[in-house]
Structure 1
Amino acid sequence: MPPKLYSIPTSPTCGFVRLVAKELNVKICVKNLNFSRKEHLSRDYMQLNPFGKVPTLEDRGFVVHESTAIAYYLLRKYAPKSQLYPDCPRKRARIDQILATVASTIRPHFVEFSRKLFCDDRKPTDEEKASFNRTVVQGLVHLIEGPFAVGDSLTLADLCIVANLTIAFINGFVEIDNYTALEAYYDRVLEELPYLTEIFGEAIGVLLQRRSELLDLPVSPTSE
């Protein structure tokens, strides 16, 4: 039985884990939870992850949550010599630094903005969009050192960054003209990941639908 990944389509962290599994040729079974029905707070799921978050991986009775921990678990169990995590202390330190920065510094801003997109019955304000570009998009720019995030080849760091960029670009509020180097980086990594659209296909549909809905909404719920 393949490992089971509890997920939601629009989560960059879940997308990151799926990219890692695909790149390592690890077959996983994806179980998408319905947050609107509070499936993530069900008794059964809370026994797997008491924080009620995704992603969570279940592999033959072993359960691990948090995307970085899951990625390292898959890597160490199924492909310990993978160049996604090269055997170089400095490169590994840089990869670890990027994953930690995304999780602790960038991701909270991403989550806050995403909640507003889906939970507030209004468009984001100009200030909110500017903050998203400054804290999330510009933050990701700072993590890229060259052709790839770390060195000259694809690593875990790129999979993490691209998962976040994919969702950020689709939501329609990235000032892409201001980030030509970032766009070039994204296109370069996509050449290494021909299956990315397959993994994020459902997320693309959901976010494009939400973008369409937002066009008819005011910036403020009280606006005329």
Structure 2
Amino acid sequence: MIELFEFALSGNCYKVRLMLSLINLKYESRIVNGLEKEHKAASFLAMNPFGQVPVLKDKGNVLRDSQGILVYLALAYAESSWFPMDPVQSAEVVAWLSTAANEVSRGPGALRSHYLLGRPINLEEAKSVTENVLSILENRLTNRNWLATDSITIADIAIYPYIALCHQGKVDLFPYENIRKWMVRIESLPNYISMQGIDKQVL
């Protein structure tokens, strides 16, 4: 049985849960106690020396990092369209995974952490990064349904959570019609699951 070590309110953990649900994979959730620093304990650091969730265990393999776990699930269990092997398309998917780990994390993700969890950040920088990445996403989704290819890929799953949680970082998505339509397409997928804090889009 697949095991997912996670925080319930983590967008990065949620993207793994969402992917598991979309491809109809059963798993066991292992909630890590963040208040007691369980993710910094020696037993957890043996799985991920960075002391971060999510961590996924499957068939004796221990995998860390939400983007890396999405790649693993796509290649091991999903249809090839989730992570295409065409060199240009696969490079496009990886580029969006990098965006999820970089700009989305430093922008919308950081703002959410600040306003929801009280974490200190460079507020003006996070706002600037957020405005830039939302503008790029809005333009990218003009006349196209998905970010990387003509069908949904793990690129969309990697980007979606912290965009869907933007309101918790005091970011209004109303001006971004293309982004909101893209979110509706994701939220309409069979086996879609939500998480606390995500309100499904109504156009």
Is residue 10 of structure 1 aligned with residue 3 of structure 2?
A: no
What's the RMSD between the two structures over aligned residues? 3.0
Mark the structure with the bigger radius of gyration. 1
Q: Is the 8 A contact 1:148 1:189 kept in 2?
A: no
Match of 1:92 in 2: 90
Match of 2:44 in 1: 45
State the TM-score, normalizing by the size of structure 2: 0.81
CA distance in 2, matches of 1:121, 1:20: 28
CA distance in 2, matches of 1:160, 1:62: 21
* AA partner of residue 114 (structure 2): K
Match of 2:176 in 1: 179
CA distance in 1, matches of 2:43, 2:119: 31
1:82 maps to which of 74, 80, 83: 80
Match of 2:192 in 1: 195
Structure holding more helix per residue = 1
1:37 alignment partner, SS class: coil
1:164 maps to which of 159, 162, 165: 162
* AA partner of residue 62 (structure 1): N
Moved more, 142-151 or 174-183: 142-151
Match of 1:222 in 2: none
Structure 1: gaps of 5 or more residues: 208-224
Percent pairwise identity? 26
1:21-170 equivalences in 2 (<5 Å) = 21-79=20-78, 81-120=79-118, 127=124, 130-131=127-128, 133-138=130-135, 140-141=137-138, 144=141, 146-169=144-167
Q: Is the 8 A contact 2:7 2:53 kept in 1?
A: yes
State the TM-score, normalizing by the size of structure 1: 0.75
Query: Residues 94 and 121 from structure 1, CA distance in 2 versus in 1: closer, same or farther, beyond 3 angstroms?
Result: closer
CA distance in 2, matches of 1:95, 1:121: 30
User: Shift in Å at residue 177 of structure 1?
Assistant: 2.5
CA distance in 1, matches of 2:127, 2:67: 28
Query: Residues 8 and 193 from structure 1, CA distance in 2 versus in 1: closer, same or farther, beyond 3 angstroms?
Result: farther
